[in-house]
Homo-oligomer: A and B are copies of this chain.
Amino acid sequence: METSGMATELTIGEFSRISHLSVKTLRHYHETGLLKPSSVNPGNGYRYYSEAQIPAAQVIRRLRDLEMPVTAVKALLGAPDAGARNALIAAHLNRLEDDLARTREAVSSLRNLIDRPRTQLEIEYRSVPPARAIGIRAIVDREDVLAWWRGALGELHAMIPAQGLRRTGSTGGLYASGLYQHDRGEATVFIPVEGVARSVGRVESLVVPSAELAIATHRGSLADVDLTYGELGSYATRHELSVAGPLREYYLGDSPHTVDSGTWVTEIGWPIFRADA
Interface centre among A57, A181, A247 (most CB of B within 10 A): A181
Report the stretch among A29-37, A159-167, A230-238 that lies at the interface.
A230-238
Copies of this chain assembled into the complex: 2
Q: Which residues of B contact A226 (CB under 8 A)?
A: 18-20, 58, 61
**A106 in complex: contacting residue of B19, B62, B182, B229, CB < 8 Å:** B62
Q: Which residues of B contact A58 (CB under 8 A)?
A: 113, 226-227, 230
Q: How far is the CA of A233 from the CA of B58 in the complex (A)?
A: 13
**A237 in complex: contacting residue of B10, B23, B93, CB < 8 Å:** B10
A 38-80 binary contact with B (CB < 8 Å = 1; else 0): 0000000000000100110111011101100000000000000
Interface residues on A, range: 35 or more
**A63 in complex: contacting residue of B14, B20, B96, B110, CB < 8 Å:** B110
| A220 located at the interface, meaning its Cβ lies under 8 Å from any Cβ of chain B in the complex | no
| A183 located at the interface, meaning its Cβ lies under 8 Å from any Cβ of chain B in the complex | yes
| A170 located at the interface, meaning its Cβ lies under 8 Å from any Cβ of chain B in the complex | no
A 197-236 binary contact with B (CB < 8 Å = 1; else 0): 0000000000000000000000000000011011001100
| A13 located at the interface, meaning its Cβ lies under 8 Å from any Cβ of chain B in the complex | yes
Are B181 and A229 interface neighbours, CB within 8 A? no
Chain A positions near chain B (C-beta within 8 angstroms): 8, 10, 13-14, 16-20, 22-24, 51, 54-55, 57-59, 61-63, 65-66, 86, 89, 93, 96, 100, 102-103, 106-107, 109-110, 113-114, 177, 180-183, 226-227, 229-230, 233-234, 237-238, 242, 247
Q: A23-B182, A93-B107 are in contact. Are A113 and B62 (CB under 8 A)?
A: yes
Q: Which residues of B contact A234 (CB under 8 A)?
A: 8, 10, 18, 51, 54
Q: How far is the CA of A107 from the CA of B58 in the complex (A)?
A: 13
Nearest Cβ on chain B to A33's Cβ, whole angstroms: 22
Give 13 A-B pairs besides A17-B181, A24-B182, A66-B106 with Cβ atoms closer than 8 angstroms. Answer: A14-B233, A14-B237, A16-B180, A18-B229, A18-B233, A22-B181, A22-B183, A23-B182, A51-B238, A58-B226, A62-B110, A65-B109, A66-B110
Q: Which residues of B contact A65 (CB under 8 A)?
A: 102-103, 106, 109
**A180 in complex: contacting residue of B17, B100, B227, CB < 8 Å:** B17
Q: Which residues of B contact A237 (CB under 8 A)?
A: 8, 10, 14, 18, 51
Are A66 and B113 interface neighbours, CB within 8 A? no
Are A20 and B229 interface neighbours, CB within 8 A? yes
Q: Which residues of B contact A106 (CB under 8 A)?
A: 62, 65-66
Are A230 and B18 interface neighbours, CB within 8 A? yes
Q: How far is the CA of A24 from the CA of B178 in the complex (A)?
A: 12
Q: Which residues of B contact A54 (CB under 8 A)?
A: 230, 233-234
